[in-house]
Structure 1
Amino acid sequence: MIKKRVLVVDDSAFMRKMISDIIRLSDSLECVDTARNGEDALKKLEKWKPDVITLDVEMPIMDGITTLSEIMRIKPTPVVMLSSLTKSGADKTIEALSLGAVDVIAKPSGSISLDIKNIETEIIQKVENAANANVKLTNRRPSQLVTDHYKPIQSDKPIVAIGSSTGGPRALQQVITKLPADFHAPVVIVQHMPKGFTKSLAERLDKLSALPVNEVEDQDVIKKGKVYLAPGGKHFRIIRKGQQMVASVRQEEPVKGHQPSVDVLFDSIANLKNCHPIAVVLTGMGSDGSKGIIQLKRHHPKTIAISQSEATCVVYGMPQAAEKTSLVDYVHNIEDIHKVLVQKIPKKR
């Protein structure tokens, strides 16, 4: 088997050594070289033509954001960002994901994490996944979607539930920021992301969107015209309290390795009465969301299920798994999904 070539970029010699050693534990990866800053990385990008790059966010001379922008301009390559769990680190990481980075790994104890080996399984898994990601999406020709035949649903209680993982922050930005201010449904989201990063993602989406976007908190009342993002490290459910839909946010055991879990969110909506779900599955590794769609369709037969097209996914796993249920109603390019949502949601009377 031909191994995928990895370039490790970090300003700490200790971190370069530790990450390189972890990469070498994988049967499908080889660390071809390391770089101490962005300038060094760009030189070695040309030399090695790596299949995937691990990139530190905070570096002298040329930082991770500038380096990532140059990589995407010169030779688009899957990049996994390594970031400390500071507010600045999280904000810069979300910016990096919006610029095309595939995934993020949280350094467990700051810039120089002496305990980095504690997350070696996560590092290997995310780098292996990223090595097969599709990052050359900007060259694809946009489609022209005719939305005239997408009739509004016959319900005054719609709820839009979105699940996403690898490549999701960028995909979410393409959907949420294009919804109009008068969008008459609540939008609830699970994005697989480490604890500490989802708040920065919500803040970024909020700044760019006509709708208010918040990281959801336990007991928040779920209202139309607002967007609620599950916090990293906690499951997000919707429950009924009287006539209101209310968020239940709890730290529990991961479901198939995920917390938050798309299936958990979808299942909770399936158990609600008197609502019309629209379930959207975006780019991501694995199959999270597919079982939830089965439950939604079982309890609410008029549920509309939408998946992101393979051509526009960074990783096609989750949408593909959803489509294999044979319950997905529409498969669309990412730039068209918001159009379908707008057409389907009845206008405010």
Structure 2
Amino acid sequence: MTLKVLVVDDSSFFRRRVSEIINGDPRLEVIDCAVNGREAIDKTVQLKPDVITMDIEMPVMDGITSVREIMRQQPTPILMFSSLTHEGAKATLDALDAGALDFLPKKFEDIACNRDEAVSLLQNRVREIARKGIFMRRASPASSTLASSPALDARKEPTLPKRPLTDKLNSAKPTPKRVAGSFQASGKRYQLLAIGTSTGGPVALQKVLSALPANFPIPIVLVQHMPATFTAAFATRLNGLCKITVKEAEDGESIRPGCAYLAPGGLQMMVDGRPGSSRIKLVDGGDRMNYKPCVDVTFGSAAKIYGNSVLSIIMTGMGADGREGSRMLKSAGSTIWAQDADSCVVYGMPQAVAKEGISSEDLPLDRIAERIKIELNLV
């Protein structure tokens, strides 16, 4: 069945360019275009596309407002196009908060090394997020996790007053099973929490991290596939939403309990040293690596330093990054969980570890934080 796509952009050149690429895939068809956010809402309700591609800055109504209203009226998978600037990063994160599922750079030369690769990536991304449409439409807009803002969700629970960053830092082969009902702690002792994710990850990470307590007892390393200009803005946003400290990782800094270190875009993040006095090591991304940062690199280094005392989670994302790093962690005796298929935007990375029998639990997004707290005896 051909997937119907609505292209939204105020630039006639960009609408034509995106439409040509999408229509170049026989599995996709551009059914119409819209030139502003207001028109996008009307055509979404009328035409019920399977996927929408959306610009952020447009006349009459901007893309963020349009996404929010579409999620209220006719929940639909939306792929945002963004500029790779600091302001573009903030706007894109706002769009993801509003309910968009993923984003790509608006300059195609920033997507990939050559045109063919960029074309393939855009087509694949549209097809992948289209699969989420059926789950989005099963839920009412008011109850849909993906249609609501994680930022608003985080504010529903009482939060402690925010402290300066420095103050916060100085405080303290089985088949994966579907987890249901109550959880029980395994009794293992952990010294590091490691999370890897990609497509759909920004929203998922906000939901999980914002539910962790300020006294979280171990450090956290985060790998989210994201451009270099986005990670600093994303870390700042997470830090404002969370009780724990969240920051973009810096080379050579000590790893402290209660702090989450987000791998910078364009670099590889490793854990170095020894448990109790470990530190962050950042190295050049390298041309041979498909992902910069790469979950496999970070997880592999954690396995060498922490051995059997890592709690690791592979969350929503396209591809199989994290599978080999998780395999190394499991061989060292550490614990690997995977996000379940229904709650993923793209069930690629979690499926890769689940299919290989590497992960031991299959967790819905809205229960991952609860499961972490029980495992670490925080409740």
**What TM-score, normalized to structure 2?**
0.82
Q: How does 1:50-61 map to 2 (within 5 A)?
A: 50-61=49-60
Aligned to 1:176: 209
Distance 1:70 1:26 in 2: 29
Once residues 245 and 138 of structure 1 are traced to their aligned partners in structure 2, the CA distance between those partners, rounded to angstroms, is 44
- Quote how far apart the aligned CAs of 1:293 are: 1.3
Deviation at 1:180, TM superposition (A): 0.1
Distance 1:241 1:321, change over 3 A: closer
Q: Name the stretch that deviates more: 42-51 or 158-167.
A: 42-51
CA–CA separation in structure 2 for the residues paired with 1:197 and 1:273: 29
For the pair 1:153 / 2:184, whether they are aligned, the reply is no
Residue 162 of structure 2 aligns with which residue?
none
Any idea what SS the aligned residue of 1:73 has? helix
266-275 vs 31-40, greater mean Cα deviation? 266-275
1:272 aligns with 2:305: yes
- Matched residue, 2:166: none
**Kept after mapping to 2: 8 A contact 1:154/1:346:** no
Closer/same/farther in 2, CA of residues 12 and 28 from structure 1, 3 Å limit: same
Deviation of 1:241 (Å) = 6.5
2:253: which partner in 1?
220
Q: 1:242 to 1:281 in 2, by over 3 A?
A: closer
Q: 1:108 touches 1:116 (CA, 8 Å); kept in 2?
A: no
Q: Does the C-alpha gap of structure 1 residues 275 and 326 become closer, same or farther in structure 2, counting only changes over 3 Å? A: closer
TM-score, normalised via structure 1 length: 0.89
Partner deviation per Cα, 1:268-310 (whole Å, 9 max, x = no partner) = 1111146610010111122211211111111x21x11111122
Counterpart AA for 1:323: A
Deviations 1:113-138 (A, max 9, x none): xx998833332222222222255175
Which residue does the alignment assign to 2:227?
A: 194
Contact 1:240 1:246 in 2 (8 A): yes
Match in the other structure for 2:10 = 11
SS in 1 for 2:229: coil
Shift of residue 15 of structure 1?
Answer: 1.2
Match of 1:69 in 2: 68
- Alignment of 1:332 with 2:363, yes or no, is yes
CA gap 1:138/1:98 in 2 versus in 1, 3 angstroms: farther
Give the Cα–Cα distance (whole angstroms) in 1 for the partners of residues 56 and 20 of structure 2: 20
Q: 2:295 matched to which residue of 1?
A: 262
Change in Cα spacing, 1:16 to 1:204, as seen in structure 2 (3 Å) is: same
Contact 1:159 1:275 in 2 (8 A): no
* Cα 1:71–1:273 shift into 2, 3 Å: closer
| Greater Cα shift, 120-129 or 60-69 | 120-129
Aligned letter for 2:361? Answer: Y
Q: Which residue of 2 aligns with 1:208?
A: 241
Is 2:283 the partner of 1:247?
no
Identity %: 38
Aligned partner of 2:97 in structure 1 is 98
* CA pair 117-60 structure 1, distance change in 2 beyond 3 A: farther
Kindly indicate whether the alpha-carbon contact (under 8 Å) linking 1:279 and 1:304 is maintained by their aligned counterparts in 2: yes
2:269 aligned residue (218, 223, 236) = 236
The residue type equivalent to 1:95 in the other structure is: D
Note if contact 1:192-1:261 (Cα within 8 Å) is conserved in structure 2. yes
Q: What is the distance in 2 between the residues matched to 1:207 and 1:89?
A: 19
Q: Secondary structure at the match of 1:39?
A: helix
**What is the alpha-carbon distance in structure 2 between the residues aligned to residue 145 and residue 259 of structure 1?**
37
Give yes or no for contact 2:51–2:78 (8 Å, CA) kept in 1: yes
The farther-off stretch of 246-255 and 228-237 is 246-255
How far apart, CA to CA, are the structure 1 residues paired with 2:189 and 2:276? 19
The CA deviation at 1:208 is 0.6
Specify whether residues 275 and 216 from structure 1 end up closer, same or farther in structure 2 by C-alpha distance, changes over 3 A only.
farther
Is the 1:236–1:249 Cα contact (8 Å) retained in structure 2? yes
Match of 1:107 in 2: 106
Gaps of 5+ in 2: 146-178
Distance 2:193 2:319 in 1: 21
Q: Quick check: 2:132–2:345 contact (8 Å CA) kept in 1?
A: yes
Provide the residue aligned with 2:352 in structure 1.
321
Aligned residues: 337
Q: Confirm or deny: 8 A CA contact 2:274 2:306 kept in the other structure.
A: no
Call closer, same or farther: CA 1:121–1:141 in 2, change over 3 Å.
closer
